[in-house]
Amino acid sequence: MRARWVTAISMILAASTVQAQQVRSSPDSGEGLLQEVVVTAQKREERLQDVPVAVTAFAAEQLKALDIKSVLDLGSLAPNLQVGPGVPNNTGTQISIRGAMQQNPALYWDPTVGIYLDGVYVGKNLGNVFDVVDLERVEVLRGPQGTLYGRNTLAGAVNFITRQPSGEIGGNVQVNLGNYNLRTAKASLDLPRFGIASISLTARKENRDGTTDTTAGSSVAELDDRDSTTARLAMNLDFNDDFQVAYRFDYSDIDQTPLHSYLSRANPAVLPFLQPFVTHERSERVSIDGPTFDRSKVYGHALTASWNINDHNTLKSITSHRKVEWSDALDLDGSPVPVANLSRISDYDATSQELQLVGSAERFNYVGGLYYFKDDGYTNNPQHFFFNTLNYDSRYGYGTKAWAAYGQVDYKATDALTLTAGLRYTREKKNIERQLAFQALPAMPGFATLIRPGTTADETFTDTTPVFIVAYRFTDSVNAYAKYAEGFKSGGFNGEYGDPDPSPAGVALNEQETRTPFQPEKVQSYELGLKTSFAGGRAVVNVAAFQNDTDDLQLSIFRTVGAFSSVIRNAGQATTRGFELEAMWAPSDALRLQASYAYLDAKYDKYIDAGVNEADNRAFIHAPENSFNLLADARIARTAWGDWRGMLDYSWTDDYFTYPYQLASSGPRYNPAVAVAGDTRIKSYGVLNARLALTDISLGGSQAEVALWSRNLTDEEQILNYIDFGPAFGSMTAAYYLTPRTYGLEVSLRW
């Protein structure tokens, strides 16, 4: 019944979340028009419909209605975008665009999708879940962005752009109360301009009880709770008309518990003591024994100086420093039996400097720059297994020094035809520091060395990535483009590797694996796009078709031989093809309908495993064949108090694999020593969100809003991810569920 109801709503709405174009009223007809949206996807301000790039944008009003405050909230709102928690941690993410992703979000690994905050690169997936207060716009760029955005944007990039200080006294407060004892409060204040300075201050506090309670005697009282504090300072200094400086500081402090690891499978012959805790449904109360927490502190500084050299050229200097203090403790077996407990205590620092020239000359627009990036981190990763009889002391340090030079030129050959060419040279030096020891009680009272302290290595990787675009404007409302781009993600070291063999030969093998780099991943991308608007500016339809050819695909392989670890293996070659549709229609100023659909066909062309090409027997991960979003935003009624507005937002995702394991589960191709991908396949699912608000309530010189909201309105009990420990660990498998239905009341006041 529930599924039929959701399907009926979806058919009626026939719409979905796409671009953040807002409805405005025509003074003559009263019919809704779609407001032009300006984006900075190519480092300069351009109309969204003119940019020859597959980009989805969300403006401030839509961000508020959809409750988007961090990268994790984006979910699957853009075509071929998937964002989920970096299981089991809610302070990290797994981000996939067009089937490309880094599965393990740990600080050691580089992501495949670049995250940017006000033009500053946020270097890792762990610690990137923090509330970005005062958001003005979010841009999701699909496909390789290596020329203008640089490192680790092989799949795409996500830009978070915050609001500029107004220089006038004003502000807003917002309070949210909901189930699971949710309490959030946010306050933002703009100070009046004094001298050359304009300043805004924002703070947000969130608390929520866990969605999963624990039994008496468990190590914590609840799981999946929320406790976060976020603050932001924005200051603009206008020295004169030609020289401005902008300083941004963001702070995030999160101290909460992770998602519960629901034990969905365990081999009874190997792990008989876990059988009472195996379950195939979500429970409201569970039992765990190990220390459990998820903590993240982030400090970010950014200083941007802009000099208008003349009317056509602007030089920018963007300097940033970001620091992450991140730690967790996990009970991965999800039971009161001490089978698998581990912790990661990490410190990470990143500094970047960019010089950027943006300009124009007659028929030319151009962007050029120099970029420097340096980061370093260290992780202590103790692990305890099987009643604390098998213990590992695992530690690793990591760092990068990178620099790049880039340039991109648009040439307007005719009023209709624009030719674009760009090039970026990147040089990255990676380093690794590693030590590993283990203890097996009662036979080994002390620790045996597996990798000697001081084991280090470094390697330099270089690449040149071009982009070529041909864009043609058929009319003012019809634009087409053809694009070729290359992406590059540098190689590195498998800093978590280690087999439990303390013999001299075993130590030598572990150290050799540690010092041997994996190769860079490269992609060649071909894209055709069409952007159209019609019906007098009341409708938009954009389409894009693409093919990505990837060499030396980097796959994260989870290992349970010895210490739990992930290693990168270069799988070989892969081809990903797809189609994306985005549409919006505003039949009146009272109604906005949106729709997006994505098709994805991903396959390996070569996957060498133990000398055998297993391309047709390995799963492509996080690549659902079909997905779509539907959204309707309507003004239901106008009253003396204000306007009643309602919004329904529905997202649906096809089934997909979570591990690049073998597809065969029987027959001659089946290897019983290797995990089967089908055991951790995610079933297709849909999520419905809703919001009903009384807006534009006039209170003297202020505006108020009251809203009722719900996420996962139909309370779907859906597994979103797994950790498969494989046959070497008794096929123990942990499942992680979608957050159950949440709802609440939001009250806000703006002046």
Q: Are the C-beta atoms of residues 407 and 368 closer than 8 Å to each other?
A: yes
* b (16+ CB within 10 A) / e for 202-219: bbbbbbbbbbbebeeebb
The mean pLDDT of 539-568, rounded to a whole number, is 92
The 3-state DSSP class for residue 279 equals: coil
Query: Rounded CA gap, 318 and 689, in Å?
Result: 38
Estimate to the nearest angstrom the gap between the alpha carbon of 570 and the chain centroid.
23
More confident residue, 186 or 125: 186
- Closest C-alpha among 95, 91, 90, 89 to residue 77: 95
Q: Is the pLDDT confidence value at 114 over 70?
A: yes
Rounded to the nearest integer, the mean pLDDT of the chain is 91
The mean pLDDT of 80-86, rounded to a whole number, is 89
The mean pLDDT of 382-406, rounded to a whole number, is 96
The mean pLDDT of 74-101, rounded to a whole number, is 89
Query: Rounded CA gap, 265 and 268, in Å?
Result: 9
What pLDDT, on the 0 to 100 scale, is given for residue 131? 84
For CA atoms 569, 570, 574, 580, give the dihedral sign: positive
Query: Rounded CA gap, 705 and 396, in Å?
Result: 50
Give residue-wise pLDDT tens across range 335-371.
999 999 999 999 999 999 999 999 999 999 999 999 9
User: What is the DSSP code (8-state) at residue 16?
Assistant: -
Q: Which segments of 416-533 does DSSP mark as H helices, in order?
A: 504-515
The domain tally of the chain equals 1
pLDDT band per the 50, 70, 90 thresholds, residue 459? very high
Query: Rounded CA gap, 647 and 230, in Å?
Result: 27
More confident residue, 21 or 583: 583
For CA atoms 176, 179, 180, 181, give the dihedral sign: positive
Estimate to the nearest angstrom the gap between the alpha carbon of 184 and the chain centroid.
23
Q: CATH no. for residue 13?
A: 2.40.170.20
Q: Are the C-beta atoms of residues 21 and 334 closer than 8 Å to each other?
A: no
For CA atoms 499, 573, 147, 124, give the dihedral sign: negative
In this structure, are strands 591-609 and 572-588 parallel, antiparallel, or unpaired? antiparallel
What pLDDT, on the 0 to 100 scale, is given for residue 649? 95
Kindly state the greatest CA–CA separation across the chain: 87
Least reliable range by pLDDT among 100-109, 133-142, 477-486, 655-664:
100-109
Q: Which domain holds residue 355?
A: 2-750
DSSP string of 69-93, one letter each residue: -SGGGGTT-STTEEEEEETTEEEEE
Q: Are the C-beta atoms of residues 47 and 36 closer than 8 Å to each other?
A: yes
Q: Whole-prediction pTM value?
A: 0.91
